[in-house]
Amino acid sequence: MTTVTRFAPSPTGRLHVGNIRTALHNWMLAKQAGGRFLLRIDDTDAERSREEYVEAIRSDLAWLGIEPEGEKRQSQRLATYDAAFERLREAGRVYPCYETAQELDLKRKVLLGRGLPPIYDRGALKLSDAERAAKEAEGTAPHWRFKLDHDAPIEWDDGVRGKQHFDPAALSDPVVRRADGSWLYMLPSAVDDIDMGVTDVLRGEDHVSNTAVQLQMFSALGSEPPRFAHEALLVGREGKLSKRLGSLGCDAFREKGIEPDALVALLARLGTSLPVEPIADRQVLLDSFDLSTFGRAPAKFDDAELERINTAIVHQMSYADVQERLPAGMDEAGWRAVQPNLSTVGEAGEWWRLVTGPIDQLEFSAEDRAFLAQAANLLSWGDDPWHQLTGALKEATGRKGKPLFLPLRQALTGMDHGPDMKELLPLIGEAEARARLAHASLHG
């Protein structure tokens, strides 16, 4: 059977790092098995859903290289949900409820006050037909709950958590439809998984109790459920998901110069026993993907680790990978010269200024000015002008180490550190290099 996974975001905001990780892992689960990864837009909340967020979701997935093989919109499937609902209603598996939000809240508080779990008491099932008719005559529209089968224990072998057991009598019958006819998450999601042929659902551990309920929905609809796996949630270094981390999305990562390959390399293995490494080859990540490596402990997202991975990824990138993102005039030699000093590709322009100028003019001691004047005279051009120059100056002045190299770097670049001068000096060119050395020799 072909493996089919899905990513089901609600278009009520931008994707954040936790969503991205879920999408990536579902894509990897499908791709590793030669299967299909689908995108489902959960846009039944008409008031909060925005088309701009739908476009942003597609754009973010494309930037990450996560390409769905198909897409569904829940807002276009309302008739399908109505049909499934009617089947359940006729089978007695959904029932109308008339309590107000305030009445339900009071019931929960009473139960909690008695030290009991706040489970719905199925009070609506005790109403007679006359009482229900009276409620509706008063203008009270019902919301609808799915009736759990208390005689059917809920069990499944979770891909991450192992054997799971739930007593359905310990769960509230979930509300599946509001009084205004709009849908909550549970039933449409199960219906979609059936119709889309989803074989594997990989999602956060905050959905474990949802899975327990949905397993009975699959059964009530006469379908085999998918395989379920629930991964640990993301947390920050401080041990909880901060508001800032919870809102970090692709746009924020792009603005910081994070490469999609770096984000994928980190999130692919975050929360697993595998080492997080700067692996740009997706196939390597896919070959090592295994749910058995996923741990139960919260997965810690660390900005510093992402930046470390990003720097390493940038250092692996070829000129062809970045050519269109580099400043005008920067050729492959220029890229190779500055690449070891970059943490983001965007920094290339700052280092390229050392070649194109103008550079910051530093002040030198009288001794160093004389040394730089000598350097301007001794500069000659060949295959390796930097080592030719430093060799000639060493022999002429007796300088070595920092006193030899630092004034030259400062005069030629205006900086104390930077790219390898062997790579950089040929890019600056003979005439400009001699002019910079001569100019520096006049500034004390």
β-sheet bridge partners, residue 234: 299
β-sheet bridge partners, residue 183: 177
- For residue 143, the Cα-to-chain-centroid distance in whole angstroms is 36
Q: Residue 109 annotated as binding?
A: no
C-beta of residue 339 within 8 angstroms of C-beta of residue 315: yes
Q: How far apart are CA 251 and CA 233, in angstroms?
A: 22
C-beta of residue 37 within 8 angstroms of C-beta of residue 271: no
Number of Cβ within 10 Å of residue 105's Cβ equals 12
Nearest to 97 by CA among 131, 57, 46, 61: 131
Q: Where does residue 162 rank: exposed (0-12), middle (13-18), buried (19+ CB within 10 A)?
A: exposed
- For residue 319, the Cα-to-chain-centroid distance in whole angstroms is 26
Q: How far apart are CA 418 and CA 409, in angstroms?
A: 9
β-sheet bridge partners, residue 143: 97
Q: How far apart are CA 315 and CA 259, in angstroms?
A: 12
Residue ranges for the known binding site for ATP are 243
Residue ranges for the known binding site are 243
